[in-house]
Amino acid sequence: MEKICVAVRVRPSVSSESFNGAYWNVEDNRISLHRLHGTPISGLSYTFDHVFDESSTNARVYELLTKDIIHAAVDGFNGTAFAYGQTSSGKTFTMNGSETDAGIINRAVKDVFAKIQMISDREFLIRVSYMEIYNEEINDLFSVENQKLQIHESLERGIFVSGLREEIVNNAEQVLKLIELGEVNRHFGETNMNVRSSRSHTIFRMVIESKGKDTNSSGDSSSVDAIRVSVLNLVDLAGSERIAKTGADGVRLKEGKHINKSLMVLGNVINKLSEGAKQRGHIPYRDSKLTRILQPALGGNAKTSIICTIAPEEVHIEETKGTLQFASRAKRITNCAQVNEILTDAALLKRQKLEIEDLRKKLQGSHAEVLEQEILKLRNDMLKYELEREKLATELEEERKSHKERDQCIREQQMKIDNLSNLVSFSDLDRNSNQGQGSARQSLKEECSESSVHQGDAFSTPCFKADPKAFVVKRSNYSTLPDYSPLPDTFSNVADEDTWQKMNKGYMADLDSLQMTPARKVQSFPSNDITPACSNDNFKKEVQQLKRQLEIATEDKNELERKHAEQIMLNHQLMDEISELQQEAKLIQEIPQRLSESVGNCKDVYEDILSIVQSFVSDGESSTAKLLSSTSEIGKSLFTTLETHFSMAMDDRSSSTGNNFLIQEQCKVLYEKLNSTITSLVSSETPSSENEEARAQLCSCGNKGCTQGGETACWKEELSNELNTIKERYYGLEKELDHNNQLLVVSKERYDSLEREFRLLKEDRDLLHQMVSDSSQKLSLVTDQKENVLKDLNTEVQRRKNLEEEIKQFSVAFASRQRSLASFHSDIKSNCEKLRTQCLVSLPKSRGC
Ligand code: ADP
Ligand code: MG
């Protein structure tokens, strides 16, 4: 028992965007989701046999993951390597490779042939095939005409795809060329290549057969007779994103069944297999073609590796989680691989004989008893084998018998069908020759009336026809029919072949003509199957079946229409939501604009206040004036920075952090400058009379009786209050801006995800549209067929009626003819009697004479 080897490969990132929230971190054979700051998120760390980071090459993946399986396949073990992951995560890149870095298939093919070259004591025969499973249909990629192939199972071959082209190959180049050809077929198969390629699975298969070379004359020839057969599957699976969604919320379960049933069943099979052997229960291999083909590779006789490819981008986190969960479950599966040797009976016996010989030799040594027992055991084994073989042979014989019976049954059925179709064609014939028959019937009627007219003169019927043999045959056919009244017993006593001909000479022509009617043909059928009622029953059944099909198709159509309506409703809802979000986004985008306007207003107010205050300060040299001018400069520059900040925010919402820092810096400088100026004012300067006045006016307390120190303090307090208010407003604005930015980012994300969802839904809707139109086409086809069949049935029923009518007429004619024959017979009898009596009377007379 060995576990499936599971590895994860991270594809290089294709987006230039840096991570905002989380990223996948690879360390040795562990992969985990980390927050932006580097701390791992709990519960999202996985360990596998190998984890390949973005820089790893196909060569490395092959070396560590697949090489051993390929080598084991050459030695007779089944092997499978498959790539699983969402679309565009690198499955095909891993399996098929690129121009510069050959993929696993390419490397495996070359490696197989290289290994074979090194094995000198065995002969190899290699066959390759390449197939695709698309919408649960198996198509041959080596041969475009081999489509919709079926899977079969036999004792000798195990599970196999019948009709799949297998090419015998001798070197790697030949195989690679064939694969290229297969790829071309794959792309030519469908017009919408992308959809197809992401939803189809491809399986490249190598069957490696080998046999020991018969080099030594004395040695073990049983190993020469044994043939090793191993199958190597290299699988590129369809994109798993849908199944991941299905697994996550179950909403698309039904849709998933149609789109990629195989992948869903593969998930189920892996789930089941990953449960312990006891809880496992039934494994649904037969639910999909993919799992059926890969059955030996999943929990069976094969060495298996799975490479799960993931995309590192943040948008794919959910899909990646799904893939990693799949990989974790797959890791728990155990397989039991063994060399597949096919031994002929002769080889088996030879091998056992050799073993016995070997043991005999050992027997001469010390462990005689043990070895004796071993020999006995071996003999028993041999007997068992023999018995088993006999049992198998009997079973085979029985199987053959039942096969023969089945064949016989099929032949009979076929005969009945042929007869039925003959009936139909003869009915046609009958219709065509209706005119002729009409005249025949007419002549029959005439004959009948004629016969009644000539009853008394039976031996001189004018239209005698000599055709005895044909008639005898016809008569014997006729006499077996149960539908016709039997001839009287007494009649057979007297009517020898000649008399019969003579008696019927008046009816020969009619019977000839009647022989050509379909009623005669019907008589040769097995009686229980050819009655019109039976045929009608068949037709009825057929019509009922068609009706049922029609009902199912109509139901399907209704279901699809309902789904379509639901999708349309959902679409409308989404459209509404999207337009609401768009409006919201518009409003949010306008916020910087409005903020910039209010900053402009604030700036105006600030400049007004400054100019008023400056008008009070007449002395430009005084410290108050200096304070004012420096405050005004800083204030202006603060407002200008705010304005540029907002205008930049309007242009590009993401790069505002640098500006925030600049504004904070400027605010700090303004605050410090104000503080230092106020302190220097308080400590050093003596106020002049004008200043006093100005200060008095500036002082908001408006108390003219304030002392100098008290005024200054008041003034200082006033200024610092104002500063605080400006600061608070600024912080408020900043917070608002941050909040708005966050809102903007969130709604952008929501908008993007909705858009993505919308696109998906649109795709789905198109698909449903397609399905609806397909089923409507099918429906109309079925309806047409039904109408045709009904028409056919009606004509057939009509034909039957005609035929029955004719048969009736014929029976009536026949009965009347019988009656006339009987009376004719009695006439002859009475005549004979009369003649006899006359003879008897005349004889004695003559004697008397
Ligand atoms: P899938 O088969 O899973 O849908 P592909 O194999 O087609 O995805 O990969 C999608 C794209 O990413 C291709 O252009 C491929 O060349 C590229 N790619 C995938 N994996 C790698 C890798 N490991 N190194 C370089 N390019 C890669
Ligand atoms: Mg692909």
The position carrying tokens 């009965």 is: 815
* Ligand 1 atom closest to Cα of residue 198: 4
Domain final position from 412, 443, 461: 412
pLDDT for residue 748: 80
pLDDT for residue 649: 66
Cβ atoms of residues 723 and 677 within 8 Å: no
User: Does residue 334 form part of some domain?
Assistant: yes
Q: Judge if the beta carbon of residue 274 lies within 6 A of ligand 1.
A: no
**159 DSSP β-pair partners:** 153
pLDDT for residue 485: 33
The residue-averaged pLDDT of 765-782 equals 85
pLDDT for residue 130: 96
Identify the DSSP state of 87. Answer: T
- 103 and 160 share a domain? yes
- Give which of 695, 683, 686 is closest to 628, Cα–Cα: 695
Task: Say which ligand is closest to the CA of 88.
Answer: 1
Could you tell me the CA-to-CA distances from 759 to 203, 259, 574, 750 in Å, in that order? 31, 17, 11, 14
Could you tell me the CA-to-CA distances from 636 to 603, 607, 656 in Å, in that order? 7, 8, 20
pLDDT for residue 248: 43
Is 427's pLDDT higher than 70?
A: no
Is 286's pLDDT higher than 70?
A: yes
- 332 and 357 share a domain? no
Is 675's pLDDT higher than 50?
A: yes
Cβ atoms of residues 231 and 245 within 8 Å: no
**Which tokens is 829 given?**
């009898």
- Of 337-341, 521-525, 773-777, the range with the highest mean pLDDT is 773-777
Identify the DSSP state of 19. Answer: P
Q: What is the CA radius of gyration of the chain?
A: 50
Rounded to whole angstroms, the Cα distance separating 814 from 634 reads 132
User: Does residue 579 form part of some domain?
Assistant: no
HEC sequence for 670-702:
HHHHHHHHHHHHHHHCCCCHHHHHHHHHHCCCC
Q: What would the pLDDT profile of 436-458 be if each residue is shown by its tens digit?
A: 444 444 433 443 333 333 333 33
pLDDT for residue 116: 95
- Of 95-109, 361-375, 553-567, the range with the highest mean pLDDT is 95-109
Q: Cβ atoms within 10 A of the Cβ of 373, count? A: 11
- 328 and 369 share a domain? no
Q: Helix crossing, 708-848 with 623-651: angle to 10°?
A: 10
Q: What would the pLDDT profile of 630-660 be if each residue is shown by its tens digit?
A: 677 767 777 777 777 777 766 655 444 455 5
The band of 507, judged by pLDDT with boundaries at 50, 70 and 90, is: very low
Q: Judge if the beta carbon of residue 103 lies within 6 A of ligand 1.
A: no
**Which are the contacts of 443, defined by CB distance < 8 A and separation ≥ 6?**
509, 510, 513
The better pLDDT of the pair 560, 194 is held by 560
The band of 473, judged by pLDDT with boundaries at 50, 70 and 90, is: very low
The position carrying tokens 């200082």 is: 716
**Which tokens is 298 given?**
């999943």
Rounded to whole angstroms, the Cα distance separating 569 from 70 reads 53
**34 DSSP β-pair partners:** 23, 40
Cβ atoms of residues 73 and 87 within 8 Å: no
Domain that holds residue 359: 346-412
Rounded to whole angstroms, the Cα distance separating 785 from 115 reads 59
The better pLDDT of the pair 186, 709 is held by 186
Question: Is 818 among the annotated ligand-binding positions?
Answer: no
The position carrying tokens 């005698």 is: 464
pLDDT for residue 405: 87
Q: What would the pLDDT profile of 163-182 be if each residue is shown by its tens digit?
A: 999 999 999 999 999 999 99
pLDDT for residue 95: 96
Cβ atoms of residues 706 and 696 within 8 Å: yes
**How many domains are contained in the chain?**
2
Q: Are strands 5-10 and 50-52 parallel, antiparallel or unpaired?
A: parallel
User: Does residue 691 form part of some domain?
Assistant: no
Domain final position from 304, 338, 372: 338
**Which are the contacts of 627, defined by CB distance < 8 A and separation ≥ 6?**
674, 677, 678, 681
The band of 567, judged by pLDDT with boundaries at 50, 70 and 90, is: confident
Rounded to whole angstroms, the Cα distance separating 561 from 834 reads 92
User: Does residue 557 form part of some domain?
Assistant: no
Indicate the helix (H) or strand (E) that contains 39. Answer: none
Q: What is the CATH number of the domain that holds 167?
A: 3.40.850.10
* Ligand 1 atom closest to Cα of residue 93: 6
Q: Judge if the beta carbon of residue 233 lies within 6 A of ligand 1.
A: no
Q: Cβ atoms within 10 A of the Cβ of 27, count? A: 12
Is 106's pLDDT higher than 90?
A: yes
**Which tokens is 729 given?**
């407003």
- Give which of 232, 240, 234 is closest to 256, Cα–Cα: 240
Rounded to whole angstroms, the Cα distance separating 264 from 20 reads 32
pLDDT for residue 458: 35
The residue-averaged pLDDT of 829-837 equals 88
Cα(12) to centroid of ligand 1, in Å? 8
The band of 369, judged by pLDDT with boundaries at 50, 70 and 90, is: low
**Which tokens is 658 given?**
């640098």
The position carrying tokens 């840096």 is: 18
**Which tokens is 416 given?**
């009945």
Q: Judge if the beta carbon of residue 84 lies within 6 A of ligand 1.
A: no
Q: Judge if the beta carbon of residue 13 lies within 6 A of ligand 1.
A: no
The band of 81, judged by pLDDT with boundaries at 50, 70 and 90, is: very high
User: Does residue 599 form part of some domain?
Assistant: no
10 Å CB burial of residue 689 (0-12, 13-18, 19+) is exposed
List % helix, strand, coil for the chain (3-state, nearest 5): 70, 10, 20
The band of 25, judged by pLDDT with boundaries at 50, 70 and 90, is: very high
The residue-averaged pLDDT of 583-602 equals 76
The three-class DSSP label of residue 342 is strand
Rounded to whole angstroms, the Cα distance separating 118 from 123 reads 11
Q: Judge if the beta carbon of residue 316 lies within 6 A of ligand 1.
A: no
Identify the DSSP state of 487. Answer: P
User: Does residue 153 form part of some domain?
Assistant: yes
The position carrying tokens 């198709």 is: 553
- 352 and 333 share a domain? no
Cα(717) to centroid of ligand 2, in Å? 73
Cα(324) to centroid of ligand 2, in Å? 18
Beta strands in 551-614 (DSSP E): none
Rounded to whole angstroms, the Cα distance separating 258 from 582 reads 34
pLDDT for residue 92: 93
Cβ atoms of residues 283 and 265 within 8 Å: no
The band of 742, judged by pLDDT with boundaries at 50, 70 and 90, is: confident
- 268 and 363 share a domain? no
Is 251's pLDDT higher than 60?
A: no
- Give which of 433, 428, 437, 509 is closest to 806, Cα–Cα: 437
Continuous H helices in 119-192: 172-189
- Of 85-89, 588-592, 720-724, the range with the highest mean pLDDT is 85-89
**Which are the contacts of 525, defined by CB distance < 8 A and separation ≥ 6?**
416, 419, 423
- 301 and 246 share a domain? yes
Is 678's pLDDT higher than 70?
A: no
**228 DSSP β-pair partners:** 210, 341
Cα(566) to centroid of ligand 2, in Å? 32
pLDDT for residue 709: 56
Cβ atoms of residues 702 and 677 within 8 Å: no
Dihedrals phi, psi of 340, to nearest 5 degrees: -90, 100
The residue-averaged pLDDT of 692-699 equals 47
- Give which of 555, 565, 645 is closest to 600, Cα–Cα: 645
- 397 and 284 share a domain? no
Residues of the chain above pLDDT 70, percent: 67
User: Does residue 610 form part of some domain?
Assistant: no
Cα(193) to centroid of ligand 1, in Å? 16
Which amino acid, one-letter code, is at 49?
A: D
Is 587's pLDDT higher than 90?
A: no
∠ CA(304), CA(306), CA(311), 5° rounding?
175
Rounded to whole angstroms, the Cα distance separating 42 from 45 reads 7
Q: Are strands 303-310 and 5-10 parallel, antiparallel or unpaired?
A: parallel
The three-class DSSP label of residue 761 is helix
The residue-averaged pLDDT of 497-522 equals 36
Q: Of the residues 8, 14, 51, 88, which should be mutated to test ligand 1's pocket, given the most ligand atoms within 8 Å of the CB?
A: 88
Rounded to whole angstroms, the Cα distance separating 239 from 252 reads 15
Cβ atoms of residues 78 and 231 within 8 Å: yes
Q: Judge if the beta carbon of residue 93 lies within 6 A of ligand 1.
A: yes
Question: Is 103 among the annotated ligand-binding positions?
Answer: no
pLDDT for residue 466: 36
Rounded to whole angstroms, the Cα distance separating 628 from 674 reads 9
The residue-averaged pLDDT of 386-414 equals 83
Q: Cβ atoms within 10 A of the Cβ of 130, count? A: 27
Dihedrals phi, psi of 124, to nearest 5 degrees: -120, 145
Cα(593) to centroid of ligand 1, in Å? 44
Q: What would the pLDDT profile of 343-366 be if each residue is shown by its tens digit?
A: 666 566 666 667 777 776 766 665
- 78 and 51 share a domain? yes
- Give which of 676, 690, 598 is closest to 634, Cα–Cα: 676
Question: Is 89 among the annotated ligand-binding positions?
Answer: yes
- 229 and 252 share a domain? yes
pTM of the model: 0.46
Q: What would the pLDDT profile of 208-236 be if each residue is shown by its tens digit?
A: 999 887 655 445 555 556 788 899 999 99
- 197 and 116 share a domain? yes
**Which tokens is 440 given?**
């025949």
Is 517's pLDDT higher than 60?
A: no
The better pLDDT of the pair 183, 528 is held by 183
- Least trusted range by pLDDT, from 75-79, 196-200, 396-400: 196-200
Domain final position from 287, 307, 338: 338
Task: Say which ligand is closest to the CA of 11.
Answer: 1
The residue-averaged pLDDT of 768-777 equals 84
Is 398's pLDDT higher than 70?
A: yes
**Which tokens is 514 given?**
């009647």
Rounded to whole angstroms, the Cα distance separating 765 from 566 reads 10
Is 550's pLDDT higher than 80?
A: no
Could you tell me the CA-to-CA distances from 198 to 181, 227, 242, 258 in Å, in that order? 20, 39, 11, 14
The residue-averaged pLDDT of 33-48 equals 88
Is 57's pLDDT higher than 80?
A: yes
**Which tokens is 284 given?**
């649904």
- 174 and 307 share a domain? yes
User: Does residue 282 form part of some domain?
Assistant: yes
Beta strands in 459-602 (DSSP E): none
Q: What is the mean pLDDT of the chain?
A: 74
pLDDT for residue 656: 47
**Which tokens is 757 given?**
């969802």
- 182 and 299 share a domain? yes
Q: Judge if the beta carbon of residue 88 lies within 6 A of ligand 1.
A: yes
- Least trusted range by pLDDT, from 4-8, 635-639, 721-725: 635-639
The residue-averaged pLDDT of 512-519 equals 35
10 Å CB burial of residue 287 (0-12, 13-18, 19+) is middle
Cα(758) to centroid of ligand 2, in Å? 24
